[in-house]
Structure 1
Amino acid sequence: MVFVGPDPGVVMEWEILRNLDPPDRRSVMASAIRRRYRGGEHLFHQGDLGDSVHLIEKGHVAIQVVNPAGTTLTLTILTPGQFFGEQALLDPDSRRTAAAVAIGAVETWELRRAAFNELQRRHPQVTIVVTEMLASQVRRLSEQLLDAHTLTAEERVLKQLGRLAESFAVDGAATIPLTQEDLASLAGTTRPTANRALQGLVDDGRVSLRRGRIEVPRVAALTDPRRRPGATR
Structure 2
Amino acid sequence: MEPTNALWHLENIDVSGIFCPKKIENGGLEQQTHRDFKRGEYIFLPDEDADKVYFVFEGRVRIGTYGEDGKEITKTILGPGEVFGELSIISDAREKRRDFAYAMEKTTTCVLTIDQIKSLMREYNGFSLFLMKIMGRRVLQMEKRLESLVFKDSRTRIIEFLYNLATEKGQRVGYEVVVRKFITHQEIANLTATSRQTVTTLLNELRNDNVLTFDRKRLLIRDMDLLKKEMDKPA
TM-score greater than 0.5 by the shorter chain: yes
Instruction: Decide whether aligned partners of structure 1 residues 116 and 198 sit closer, same or farther in structure 2, where only a CA change above 3 A counts.
Output: same
Higher relative contact order (CA 8 A, sep 6+): 2
Aligned 8 A contact 1:55 1:81 in 2 = yes
Match status 1:33 vs 2:33: yes
Q: 1:137 to 1:164 in 2, by over 3 A?
A: closer
SS at match of 1:53: strand
Q: Is the 8 Å Cα contact of residues 166 and 221 (structure 2) preserved in structure 1? A: no
Residues 74, 28 of structure 1: alpha-carbon distance in 2 compared, 3 angstrom cutoff: closer
CA deviations on 1:184-206 (whole Å, 9 max, x unpaired) are 11012334433442341465685
SS in 2 for 1:215: coil
CA gap of 1:114–1:42, structure 2 versus 1, over 3 A, is same
Uncovered stretches (5+) of structure 2, i.e. residues with no partner = 22-28
Could you list the runs of 4 or more consecutive aligned residues of structure 1 that deviate by over 6 angstroms after TM superposition? none
Summarize the Cα distance change of 1:42–1:216 in structure 2 as closer, same or farther, 3 Å threshold.
closer
TM-score (norm 1): 0.70
Deviation at 1:148, TM superposition (A): 3.5
Residues 152-231 of structure 1 correspond to what in structure 2 (within 5 A)? 152-161=153-162, 167=169, 174=180, 176-178=182-184, 180-201=185-206, 203=208, 215=216, 219-221=220-222, 224-228=224-228, 229-230=230-231
- Pick closer, same or farther for the CA change 1:225–1:124 going to 2, 3 Å: closer
What letter is aligned with 1:156? R
> How far off its partner does 1:87 sit?
1.1
CA RMSD of aligned residues (A): 3.7
Q: How many residues align?
A: 211
- TM normalised by structure 2 equals 0.69
User: 2:115 is matched with which residue?
Assistant: 114
Secondary structure at 1:104 match in 2 = coil
Match of 2:7 among 15, 18, 23: 15
* Structure 1 residue 141 corresponds to structure 2 residue 142: yes
SS of residue in 1 equivalent to 2:117: helix
CA shift, 1:38, in A, is 1.8
**Contiguous gaps of at least 5 residues in structure 1:** 1-12, 209-213
